[in-house]
Amino acid sequence: MAPIHMKPRDGTIDLERTAVVIIDMQRDFLLPGGFGEKLGNDVSKLTRAIQPCQKVLEAARARNMLVIHTREGHRPSMADVHVWKKDKHGTVPPAIGEMGPMGRILIRGEEGHDIIEELYPITGEPVVDKPGKGSFYATDLEAILQAQNITTLLVMGVTTEVCVHTTIREANDRGYHCIAVSDACASFFDDFHKTALRMITAQGGIFGSVTDSASVVAALQAADD
């Protein structure tokens, strides 16, 4: 058990029943030439999350905690890309499946679809491939969490208001306590990042809790064995 500083109130997490979930830290979002940039965004905004994610990941691995990585992406045939995602992104040109400097954008098996070197999964860490924003939709994430008796999720990654938030909302409805790690999440939009985090803890913690990477590392290092 580990006491941890969080908003809206401090608490305790059971490390044996807590998983670290790292959302979509893929080259296609964090590096130039990928999906994030194709949507018109400054991808350098996301790099600030890398180091905090690394610190939490290192502390979690040292404690043998369950670490789960997700990747947003699609089949090479694009049979699973729905109409809105394919060509209804308003003024933004469709990008999924196009050839870019890191291969076909957001297509499974391509270089850009994979996770950045700094956070690359190690053997035994499940990688959940998801076609949508939420990590529960059309995936086996819930089966994995149930099989490991997980009740609490430390959630980080990109982007705060899109895939991180959607995942937290899905998880909250399924009864998981989600703790977003604020500095280990990032958005292309500073105001969305801040507001998305505020939304989680509003109304007594309507979607869960928010902490930061230093608090997670301190909690994991101080935890009872």
Among 18, 24, 103, 200, binds ligand TIU (CB under 6 A): 24
Nearer to ligand TIU, 34 or 220 (CB): 34
Rounded-to-integer distance, Cα 24 and Cα 10, Å: 28
Check if the beta carbon of residue 156 is closer than 8 Å to that of residue 180: yes
CB of 148 to ligand TIU, least distance (A): 24
Q: Is 56 in the site for ligand TIU (CB under 6 A)?
A: no
Distance CA 55, CA 214 (A): 8
User: Site for ligand TIU (CB under 6 A): which residue of 3, 5, 39, 132?
Assistant: 39
Interface segment toward ligand TIU; rule CB under 6 A; list 111-119, 156-164, 193-201, 212-220: 156-164
- Map residues 113-142 to x or -, x wherever contact with ligand TIU holds by CB under 6 A: --------------------x---------
Residues that bind ligand TIU (CB under 6 A): 24, 29, 39, 72, 133, 158-159, 162-163, 188
